[in-house]
Amino acid sequence: MRIWFNRHFALVARVIRQLRDATPALPVTAVISHRHSHFVGFAEADEAFVEPAGLAPEDYLQWCLDIAGRRRIEYLVPGHEQSLLTANAAAFMKLGCRIIHAAPMDTLPLLHRKDWVYENCAHLVELPPYRVVTEPEQLAGAVAALERDELDEVCIKPCVSVYGKGFGRITGRAERAGAERDHVEHWLARNVREGRCAPQLVMQFLPGSEYSVDIAARDGELLAAVVRRKPTSGTGQLLQHNPLLVEAARRLVAHFKLNAMVNVQFRDDPAGLSRLLEINPRASGGIGMSCLSGINLPDIAIRAALSANYAVPPLTPRLGVRVAEVPRAVIVPEGEPDALPAGDARAA
């Protein structure tokens, strides 16, 4: 069974490790490609190769189709250009390669937009008070609307981002600005270019515990989930029995028809109410910790994608334990070159 993971984050190594640790393990040949020749994920690959640099999206699609046919790929779990590859699932199917998608093709690209997600799930889960800012002149008003009382805290982050990039706390009050909070005018001075800024989500800052719900799903059905509570201070995460968050995740999975490996994040407000942060249409970086519960989420997700008749066996997770990631030393092989076919104009 040849499964290709194209240009994922380093978490792909954890996913493949879980597939290999399953009992019984699926007969997986893990094929990994990345633009960096010593990508850490290559340490878990059966076949590793380097992607050509600088391809436009349509050229990248054609290169992926060439790889799928030439390397006899049976399943593709998209990383880079996830939405584009999923939208062209029929072209891959003609080559005998099936896309293991995280969501339907018309929904998948929108899930990366936090503002769109919020607009479309307000009736399903608790959301933090928020405003969407698309023009610089809207920012001060948005912050003021959320910073009404003395104890109100506000934060800002791009509508599209990963791993918290661009996140920060913000204020419209000069006396509160400093190392912890950026003043609106300072934020604008740094982030406005030619009178424009990227769309931003301005929202209530949630000071409580953060939760990561790792999920295996099949076309809108939540098959298994593990809740990790992240520490507000210190180290380690708690594998938690939290039926309220699992049920909230179940509603989101059903509504957006989520599939395979996905992740949903929540955080508590000052009153202790868990509010949605974001939906990630991919495995999370902490999925290895969730699997210490005894629930092998990647294995469940892949088996469910391979067979519509797959039934998850009875699960008795180990919860209430604190877990952490411990780095381990690995040899990272150099990926083999895999350029476009000789004479292909796209290689120029």
253: nearest Cα among 273, 227, 281: 281
pLDDT at 343: 43
CA 11 vs CA 73, 137, 166, 188, 345: distances in Å: 21, 39, 21, 34, 34
11 Cβ contact partners less than 8 Å away, ≥ 6 residues apart: 283, 284, 285, 287
Higher-pLDDT residue of 348 and 226 is 226
Task: Report d(CA 254, CA 21) in Å as an integer.
Answer: 29
Q: What values do phi and psi take at 251, rounded to 5?
A: -65, -40
Structure token digits, residue 206: 């949630």
How does 233-258 read in b/e, with b if 16+ C-beta sit within 10 Å? eeeebbbbebeebbebbbebbeebbb
> Residue with structure tokens 């996140």?
167
The mean per-residue pLDDT over the stretch 139-148 comes to 95
How does 273-303 read in b/e, with b if 16+ C-beta sit within 10 Å? ebbbbbbbbbbbbbbbbbbbbebbbbbbbbb
pLDDT at 346: 41
Domains identified in the chain and CATH numbers: 2-100+331-347 (3.40.50.20), 129-204 (3.30.1490), 210-323 (3.30.470.20)
Mean pLDDT (the chain) is: 94
Three-state secondary-structure class, residue 13: helix
Three-state secondary-structure class, residue 32: strand
pLDDT at 348: 33
- The number of beta carbons lying within 10 Å of the beta carbon of residue 56 is 9
**Percent of the chain whose predicted confidence (pLDDT) is above 90:** 91
pLDDT at 232: 80
pLDDT at 341: 53
pLDDT at 185: 96
**96 bridge partner residues:** none
Where is 254: in which H helix or E strand? helix 243-256
Q: How confident is the model at residue 340 (pLDDT cuts 50, 70, 90)?
A: low
pLDDT at 338: 79
Task: Report d(CA 265, CA 275) in Å as an integer.
Answer: 9
The mean per-residue pLDDT over the stretch 307-321 comes to 94
Task: Report d(CA 208, CA 240) in Å as an integer.
Answer: 15
Structure token digits, residue 114: 């936090």
Report whether pLDDT(25) > 80: yes
pLDDT at 122: 97
DSSP structural state of residue 23: S
DSSP-derived secondary structure for 68-88: HHHTT-SEEEE-TTHHHHHHT
Three-state secondary-structure class, residue 30: strand
> Residue with structure tokens 């995460």?
237
Q: How confident is the model at residue 254 (pLDDT cuts 50, 70, 90)?
A: very high
Three-state secondary-structure class, residue 168: strand
Q: In what order do the strands lie in the sheet with 2-6?
A: 98-99, 75-78, 2-6, 29-34, 47-50, 336-337
237: nearest Cα among 327, 167, 320: 320
CA 131 vs CA 7, 208, 219: distances in Å: 33, 20, 31
Q: How confident is the model at residue 327 (pLDDT cuts 50, 70, 90)?
A: confident
Tell me the per-residue pLDDT of 258-297, one tens digit each, with 9 for 90 and over.
Answer: 999 999 999 999 999 999 999 999 999 999 999 999 999 9
